[in-house]
Structure 1
Amino acid sequence: MALKYVDEISLTDKNVVARFDFNVPLDKNDHTKITDTTRIDEALQTIRYILDNGAKKLVLMSHLGRPSGDKKEPEFSLEPVAKYLAEVLGEEVILSESCTDSGIKTLLSLKQNRIILLENLRYHKEETKNDREFAKTLATYGDIYVNDAFGTAHRKHASTYGIVAFFKNKAVGGFLLRREIEALNKVVNSPAQPFVAIVGGAKVSDKIKIIERLLSNVSDLLIGGAMAYPFLKASGVDTGISLCSDEDVALATKVLKSPNGKKIVLPKDHVCSKTFGGDPQVVNDAKIPEDMMGLDIGPRSTTLFKDVLFKAKTVLWNGPMGLFENEDYSAGTFAIAEALADSKAYTLIGGGDSVSAVKKSGLADKMDHISTGGGASLEFIEEGTLPGIQALKFGID
């Protein structure tokens, strides 16, 4: 069954309840200031379409941060999101007291104020528990349900999954969801070959599924960042005091011994230090001295990785090559960003720290697609779909 989208259903005189991912970063010292509005900006196309195509009311839903789930915590309020939306949309956005506030029904009956933003869904533990009654309450706010929250579509939560049961043939995806699915399908279904994946990050155990899935499809799998050290150790290479758990080494050993293990490309040199973030030193060998830790790929590794990427027609990047937040250890990560910016390949940045790195490099507009959901994009590649997407396609009881 094909997934229907918001432009395939009539919105005229309908109340629309829509789930977005407004889980934006706030200033650590001032929780009223948003430091990166990307996730809200990516939702604007869907919001404007709903408002411009006859909807009577639009009820927006989202979570922000990780509140405890049993009380209202001001530092996780969606008030900054409401203010920003009002500015960019040019009309008032009413923030409800809570998701279940009795005043919401009154707002829905009034002629003025088209846009209502529900306060943080995760102020209620019922959200993450996919509580049916909570989902039913949320469903009463709309005649039509729209899910445009790709970043949370891998969660079976009340607002992304359970709510669909109350919208038979009236649950659709938004434009962001469509963009994400179309982009990821280019990697999952029939990537143009050679297909090269770059995987970084901290723990092999966090990404073992995606590594195993990718190895069956890629021509080469480049591994950098802290992810590389367990693989080097499993290959018999000394890694000094680099981050390297026994569990990750065992997983890396298993992967390297697999039939596709030969596709893995590991660093040949490193930028190291005796302390985390300390003075940098280039080590011109795969072997790391016993009193040092690796914190970035070195110049030889950068050249090797760029040579592999030069031949690619499809590239997926998930995870930095080192401690890129520190200028001394950012060269490897930014070199990858530059290589992808110059590449003729289809380039997909798979969420998480890779997105931060690409933005910091100033090359974000040179990438073909930057996913808004780190965990969601990885799970989509692993499974070929997500629970929230499946619910929209087939419904749930």
Structure 2
Amino acid sequence: MSWTTLDQMDLKGKRVLTRVDINVPMENGVVTDATRIERIVPTVKDILAAGGMPILLAHFGRPKGERVPEMSLQPLVPALEAAFECDVMFAADCIGVGAAAAAGALQAGQVLLLENTRYHAAEPANDPDFAAEMAKLGDIYCNDAFSAAHRAHASTEGLAHLLPACAGRLMQAELSALEGALSSPERPVVAVVGGAKVSSKLELLSNLIEKVDYLVIGGGMANTFLAAQGIDVGKSLAEHDMTDTAREIMAKASAGACEIILPSDIVVAREFKAGAANETLPADACPSDAMILDAGPATVSRVSSVLDSAKTLIWNGPLGAFEIEPFDMATNAAAAYAADLSAKGALISVAGGGDTVAALNEAGAAEKFTYISTAGGAFLEWMEGKVLPGVAALNS
């Protein structure tokens, strides 16, 4: 671990510019899902406990450099006060005289929330002058927004070069979990990758086949790999123009030490709707007028047996059309099996990505996984082996 943490910083009496992700869903001015707020509570409370004064920097939506009233952070103040159990002040800008006055008036035991950083076009441009204006407001910079770490913005990357910088508790947990899963994992390592398109996860697959022992491919992506083997996938979602690429990935995996696991049996239907009439068939027996909507029980058994021998699991994406019953069977069954192994301490399981979190929650498996990342794009880019600017800046 090469980044500095809160434990290594002297926070007493210091104003701590803390980049957070509180881009939460709202309805009629009320937060409808406070998950992202709950995840930054440990960082804020630890700064307060150490005598520091947190000044929160965050974005909300995509105002594109304009003051969009619907994208103000001010309505989040009540939810933040409830979560932090303390007073949360608000400043109507993240730079300037008003922000400086609010930062100067901040007292011990209080938190200050600055207005949406993306009200300024200089934020996504990572403008050094804009970053310098924000830096005047604090003594220390703490990045607790791993979900925005793949963006080289002024508040996620620029500030880290201007103030003593450290990772917040959520950032620390994300980095520890991901490094443990991919950089220095306990082996064997299994990756489950699902989703609609090979093209959207090409870099991910290419990186994983060099780092994992087993790669389970599900969802529409699996159909493309089956088609690449000359199997008729009927009317299934598949990228037939990507079959050459799929064959290249399989060849590289075969030449290395990675075994790719594709569905050996499939659940097919003629309609894409909940409760549609369906049948389970061998993977090479899809009728020409049907579509593959899930993996079958034999595939789940194979995945389960691989998980039995594994020490580390990385999960991104569902194995089938998990949004509609009964085509959520493979995802739910495999996720539940992985969750039980994790709960017993036999498996370190790390999962991330929007559909992934939704699928694991639907399966009732999320709580038993070792770590669930809410980062989305940043999680994927890390898995692809890319350098995340927000993380690299902390290392420097």
TM-score (norm. length: structure 1): 0.90
Q: Which residue of 2 aligns with 1:233?
A: 227
Q: Which moved more, 1:375-384 or 1:115-124?
A: 375-384
Contact 2:212 2:258 in 1 (8 A): no
Task: Give 3-state SS (helix, strand or coil) of 1:327's partner.
Answer: coil
- The answer as to 2:244 corresponding to 1:244 is no
Q: Which residue of 1 aligns with 2:215?
A: 221
Q: Which residue of 2 aligns with 1:58?
A: 54
How has the CA–CA distance of structure 1 residues 248 and 80 changed in structure 2, closer, same or farther, with 3 Å as cutoff?
Answer: farther
Q: Which moved more, 1:248-257 or 1:110-119?
A: 110-119
Matches for 1:115-194 after TM superposition, within 5 Å:
115-167=111-163, 170-194=164-188
- The answer as to 2:264 corresponding to 1:268 is yes
State the AA in 2 paired with 1:25: P
Q: Which residue of 1 aligns with 2:339?
A: 341
Distance 2:235 2:31 in 1: 37
- The answer as to 2:388 corresponding to 1:386 is yes
Q: Which moved more, 1:69-78 or 1:217-226?
A: 69-78
Task: Give 3-state SS (helix, strand or coil) of 1:320's partner.
Answer: coil
Q: Which residue of 2 aligns with 1:35?
A: 32
Distance 1:271 1:74 in 2: 48
Distance 2:295 2:31 in 1: 32
How has the CA–CA distance of structure 1 residues 61 and 111 changed in structure 2, closer, same or farther, with 3 Å as cutoff?
Answer: closer
How has the CA–CA distance of structure 1 residues 311 and 372 changed in structure 2, closer, same or farther, with 3 Å as cutoff?
Answer: same
Q: Which residue of 1 aligns with 2:98?
A: 103
1:31: how far off? Answer: 4.6
Contact 2:5 2:166 in 1 (8 A): yes
State the AA in 2 paired with 1:17: L
How has the CA–CA distance of structure 1 residues 261 and 2 changed in structure 2, closer, same or farther, with 3 Å as cutoff?
Answer: closer
How has the CA–CA distance of structure 1 residues 52 and 261 changed in structure 2, closer, same or farther, with 3 Å as cutoff?
Answer: closer
Matches for 1:238-387 after TM superposition, within 5 Å:
238-258=232-252, 259-260=255-256, 263-277=259-273, 279-287=276-284, 288-343=286-341, 344-383=346-385, 385-387=387-389
Distance 2:90 2:364 in 1: 34
Task: Give 3-state SS (helix, strand or coil) of 2:93's partner.
Answer: coil
Contact 2:213 2:258 in 1 (8 A): no
- The answer as to 2:90 corresponding to 1:91 is no
1:280: how far off? Answer: 4.4
How has the CA–CA distance of structure 1 residues 93 and 121 changed in structure 2, closer, same or farther, with 3 Å as cutoff?
Answer: same
Matches for 1:11-22 after TM superposition, within 5 Å:
11-22=11-22
Matches for 1:58-77 after TM superposition, within 5 Å:
58-65=54-61, 67-77=62-72
Equivalent of residue 47 in structure 1, options 37, 41, 44: 44
Cα deviation code 1:169-191 (max 9, x no counterpart) = x1111111111111111122332
Distance 1:129 1:276 in 2: 43
Distance 1:34 1:303 in 2: 41
Distance 2:75 2:266 in 1: 42
Distance 1:53 1:136 in 2: 26
Q: CA RMSD in A?
A: 2.2
Q: Which residue of 2 aligns with 1:211?
A: 205
Q: Indicate the percent of aligned positions where both proteins have the same amino acid.
A: 39
- The answer as to 2:200 corresponding to 1:202 is no
Task: Give 3-state SS (helix, strand or coil) of 1:128's partner.
Answer: coil
How has the CA–CA distance of structure 1 residues 81 and 271 changed in structure 2, closer, same or farther, with 3 Å as cutoff?
Answer: farther
Contact 1:273 1:295 in 2 (8 A): yes
1:384: how far off? Answer: 7.0
1:230: how far off? Answer: 1.0
How has the CA–CA distance of structure 1 residues 44 and 226 changed in structure 2, closer, same or farther, with 3 Å as cutoff?
Answer: same
Task: Give 3-state SS (helix, strand or coil) of 1:238's partner.
Answer: coil
Task: Give 3-state SS (helix, strand or coil) of 1:284's partner.
Answer: strand
Distance 2:8 2:72 in 1: 33
Distance 1:111 1:384 in 2: 38
Q: Which moved more, 1:101-110 or 1:341-350?
A: 101-110
Distance 2:277 2:184 in 1: 41
- How many residues end up aligned between the 2 structures? 387
Task: Give 3-state SS (helix, strand or coil) of 2:237's partner.
Answer: coil
State the AA in 2 paired with 1:158: A
How has the CA–CA distance of structure 1 residues 183 and 97 changed in structure 2, closer, same or farther, with 3 Å as cutoff?
Answer: same
Q: Which residue of 1 aligns with 2:4?
A: 4
How has the CA–CA distance of structure 1 residues 162 and 302 changed in structure 2, closer, same or farther, with 3 Å as cutoff?
Answer: same
TM-score (norm. length: structure 2): 0.91
State the AA in 1 paired with 2:300: T
Task: Give 3-state SS (helix, strand or coil) of 2:282's partner.
Answer: coil
State the AA in 1 paired with 2:199: S
